[in-house]
Each structure stands twice: as C-alpha cells, then as structure tokens.
Structure 1
Amino acid sequence: MTTPKTHRWTERRCSECTDLERGRKEAEAERDFSRVSDFNVLIVRHRMAHAEGP
C-alpha cells in the first residue's frame, strides 16, 4: 500500500488558488472538459509562481 503524496502548494492557499479551483469544479459540473483543461493549465502556472516565491 502506498501513502498519498502531499504537495507543497496545498499548504499555501491564496484567493487566486481558491478561485481557480472553484472554476475548475464548476466546469467539471457542467461537463465542459475544454474549460477543465484550461483551468488545469492556469492552476499549474499559478502554482509555479508560488514555488518561485517572493
């Protein structure tokens, strides 16, 4: 049995992280998978900005 991976970015939540994740969930609920993909890209880019730090 493997343990779940934890990610650094889950520890740092900003309002933009929350908004992007909410948008992705809304797109999933609407079954708009093109928008889901767009949000996935935006989320990854945003998390990379967190990793760069101030």
Structure 2
Amino acid sequence: MANGLLTVTLNSQYNDQSSLAMALGLDKADNSLADVTIINDIIKKHHFKKKASVLSTMLN
C-alpha cells in the first residue's frame, strides 16, 4: 500500500509476459498516460467529473 492505495496484479493465461512485467513495474510502458489524452477524452465523453477521477488527478 502506498498513499492509501492498494494495487493488485493478477496473472492469467490470457495476458502475455510483457504486460505482466509492465504491470509489476519491471518494464516501462512505451507511452506514458501523462503524455496522452485518453483519460481526459473518456472523462469528457462520459461526462465524469474531473475531481472524481483519481487517475486524472494523479496525472495532472
């Protein structure tokens, strides 16, 4: 736990090893979520409130 957040990573037959390594923080993603607009696009599309989005707050 860090900052009151618990992260759980599960492995299954449906994901590949590169995804697991990235989820565990062993490898970095090719593109950072901070460098793309997908989170803000989803917030706008579905009319979410920005203050309710923990991920958006962490990225800004």
Asked if these proteins are the same fold (TM beyond 0.5), I'd say no
Superposition TM-score, scaled by structure 2 size = 0.27
Larger Cα Rg: Structure 1 or Structure 2? 2
Q: Which has the higher helix share?
A: 1
Superposition TM-score, scaled by structure 1 size = 0.29
